[in-house]
Amino acid sequence: MTLLLIVLSIVTIAALAMRRAPLWHWAVAALVIGLLAGAFAGGFAGWVAALLPGVVLALLSVPQIRRVLVTGPAYGFVKAILPRVSRTEQEALDAGTVGWDAELFSGKPDWQKLFAVPKGQLSAEEQAFLDGPANVLCGMIDDWDIRHNRADLPESVWRYVKQQGFLGMLISKEHGGLGFSAQAQSQIISRIASRSVATGITVMVPNSLGPGELLERYGTPEQKQKYLRRLATGQEVPCFALTGPHAGSDAAGMRDVGVVTYGTHEGQRTLGVRLSWDKRYITLAPVATLLGLAFHLHDPENLLGKGENPGITLALVPAAHKGVVIGRRHFPARSAFMNGPTSGKDVFIPLDFLIGGPDYAGQGWRMLMECLSTGRAISLPAIGSVSIKQGLRVTSAYARIRRQFGLYVGMMEGVAEPISRMVKSAYAFEAARSLTAAMVDDGQRPTVLSAVLKYQSSEAMRARMNDAMDIHGGRAIQDGPANYLLAGYINIPVAITVEGANILTRTLITFAQGALRAHPYLFKEIAAAKNEDKRAGLTAFDEAFAGHAGYMLRNIFGSFLHGVSLGRFAATPVEHELDWCYRQLSRYAQSFALVGDWTVAFLGGELKARQLLSGRLADILSELYILSATLKRYEDDGRPEEDRPVVEAVARDAFFRIEQSFAAVFANFPNPTLGGLMRFLVFPLGRHARPADDKLNLGLAQAVLKPGAFRDRLTVGTYVSLDPMDPTGVLEDALVKVVAAEAVEAKFIRAAKKGIIERRLDRDAIADAVMAGVITAEEAQVLRTADEATDRVIHVDDFSSEQLQRIESQREPQHDAAE
At a CB cut-off of 8 Å and minimum separation 6, what does 310 contact?
297, 298, 299, 304, 361, 362
d(CA 17, CA 19): 5
Closer to ligand FAD by CB, 257 or 504: give it.
504
Q: Are 309 and 87 in contact (CB under 8 A)?
A: no
Closer to ligand FAD by CB, 491 or 586: give it.
491
Number of residues that bind ligand FAD (CB under 6 A): 21
d(CA 169, CA 134): 12
Residue of 202, 374, 385, 497 interacting with ligand FAD (CB under 6 A): 497
Residue 741: CB minimum distance to ligand FAD, A: 44
Closer to ligand FAD by CB, 354 or 705: give it.
354
Closer to ligand FAD by CB, 310 or 332: give it.
332
Closer to ligand FAD by CB, 367 or 701: give it.
367
Site string for ligand FAD, 579-618 (x = CB under 6 A): --------------------------------x-------
Residue 788: CB minimum distance to ligand FAD, A: 40
Residue 130: CB minimum distance to ligand FAD, A: 25
Closer to ligand FAD by CB, 117 or 241: give it.
241
Site string for ligand FAD, 505-524 (x = CB under 6 A): --xx----------------
Residue 378: CB minimum distance to ligand FAD, A: 15
Nearest CA among 307, 347, 332, 359 for reference residue 243: 332
**Which of these ranges, 280-288, 424-432, 525-533, 697-705, lies near ligand FAD under the rule CB under 6 A?**
280-288
Q: Interface residues for ligand FAD in 631-670 (CB under 6 A)?
A: none
Residue whose beta carbon is closest to ligand FAD: 248
Instruction: Provide the H-helix boundaries in 520-578.
Output: 522-530, 534-564
Residue of 88, 190, 202, 339 interacting with ligand FAD (CB under 6 A): 339
Decide: is 332 part of the binding site for ligand FAD (CB under 6 A).
yes
Supply φ then ψ for residue 342, to 5 degrees: -150, 150
Residue 258: CB minimum distance to ligand FAD, A: 16
Closer to ligand FAD by CB, 603 or 647: give it.
603
Q: Which residues of 243-280 are buried (b: 16+ CB within 10 A; e: fewer)?
A: bbeebbeebbebebebbbbebebeeeebebbbbbbbbb
Closer to ligand FAD by CB, 331 or 680: give it.
331
d(CA 121, CA 184): 8
**Antiparallel, parallel or unpaired: β 311-318 and 268-283:** unpaired
Residue of 117, 130, 449, 494 interacting with ligand FAD (CB under 6 A): 494
At a CB cut-off of 8 Å and minimum separation 6, what does 38 contact?
46, 47, 50, 51
Strand partners, 311: 297
Q: For every residue of 16-76, which 3-state class applies, written as one string?
A: HHHCCCCHHHHHHHHHHHHHHHHHHHCCHHHHHHHHHHHHHHHHHCCHHHHHHHHHHHHHH
**Which of these ranges, 135-143, 176-184, 492-500, 521-529, lies near ligand FAD under the rule CB under 6 A?**
492-500
Supply φ then ψ for residue 20, to 5 degrees: 50, 50
Residue 331: CB minimum distance to ligand FAD, A: 10
Nearest CA among 95, 110, 90, 115 for reference residue 448: 95
Residue 263: CB minimum distance to ligand FAD, A: 26
d(CA 648, CA 226): 53
Decide: is 498 part of the binding site for ligand FAD (CB under 6 A).
yes
Q: Interface residues for ligand FAD in 234-263 (CB under 6 A)?
A: 239-243, 248-249
Judged on CB neighbours under 10 Å (0-12, 13-18, 19+), 297 is buried
Q: Are 401 and 790 in contact (CB under 8 A)?
A: yes
Q: Is 11 left (phi over 0), alpha (psi -120 to 50) or beta?
A: alpha
Closer to ligand FAD by CB, 337 or 427: give it.
337
Decide: is 130 part of the binding site for ligand FAD (CB under 6 A).
no
Closer to ligand FAD by CB, 114 or 231: give it.
231
**Which of these ranges, 53-61, 119-127, 275-283, 804-812, lies near ligand FAD under the rule CB under 6 A?**
275-283
Residue 48: CB minimum distance to ligand FAD, A: 54
Residue 280: CB minimum distance to ligand FAD, A: 8
CB hemisphere CA count around 324 (13 angstroms): 19
At a CB cut-off of 8 Å and minimum separation 6, what does 367 contact?
214, 217, 218, 314, 355, 356, 360
Decide: is 327 part of the binding site for ligand FAD (CB under 6 A).
no
Q: Are 326 and 363 in contact (CB under 8 A)?
A: no
Residue 381: CB minimum distance to ligand FAD, A: 16
At a CB cut-off of 8 Å and minimum separation 6, what does 573 contact?
111, 112, 115, 582
Decide: is 291 part of the binding site for ligand FAD (CB under 6 A).
no
Q: Are 186 and 381 in contact (CB under 8 A)?
A: yes
Task: Select which of 103, 126, 213, 499 is catalytic.
Answer: 499
Instruction: Provide the H-helix boundaries in 473-533.
Output: 474-477, 486-490, 492-497, 502-504, 514-518, 522-530
648 is catalytic: no
Decide: is 503 part of the binding site for ligand FAD (CB under 6 A).
yes
Residue of 504, 574, 736, 756 interacting with ligand FAD (CB under 6 A): 504
What's 96's DSSP letter? S
Residue of 171, 189, 204, 282 interacting with ligand FAD (CB under 6 A): 282
Decide: is 312 part of the binding site for ligand FAD (CB under 6 A).
no
The CA-atom distances, in angstroms, between 620 and each of 120, 585, 605, 606 are 25, 11, 21, 20
Site string for ligand FAD, 385-424 (x = CB under 6 A): ----------------------------------------
d(CA 725, CA 704): 23
Nearest CA among 292, 141, 168, 173 for reference residue 234: 168
What's 752's DSSP letter? H
Q: Are 769 and 751 in contact (CB under 8 A)?
A: yes
Decide: is 674 part of the binding site for ligand FAD (CB under 6 A).
no
At a CB cut-off of 8 Å and minimum separation 6, what does 560 contact?
680, 681, 684
Closer to ligand FAD by CB, 313 or 507: give it.
507
d(CA 134, CA 717): 11
Strand partners, 339: 283
Closer to ligand FAD by CB, 333 or 437: give it.
333
**Which of these ranges, 124-132, 228-236, 262-270, 278-286, lies near ligand FAD under the rule CB under 6 A?**
278-286
Residue 665: CB minimum distance to ligand FAD, A: 18
At a CB cut-off of 8 Å and minimum separation 6, what does 430 contact?
385, 389, 633, 714, 716, 717
Residue 344, classed as helix, strand or coil, is strand
Residue 284: CB minimum distance to ligand FAD, A: 7
Site string for ligand FAD, 22-61 (x = CB under 6 A): ----------------------------------------
Closer to ligand FAD by CB, 5 or 501: give it.
501
Residue 283: CB minimum distance to ligand FAD, A: 4
Site string for ligand FAD, 189-228 (x = CB under 6 A): ----------------------------------------
Task: For 440-497, list the strands marked E by DSSP.
Answer: none
**Applying CB under 6 A, which residues contact ligand FAD?**
239-243, 248-249, 281-283, 332, 339, 494, 497-498, 501, 503-504, 507-508, 611
Q: Which residues are catalytic?
A: 499
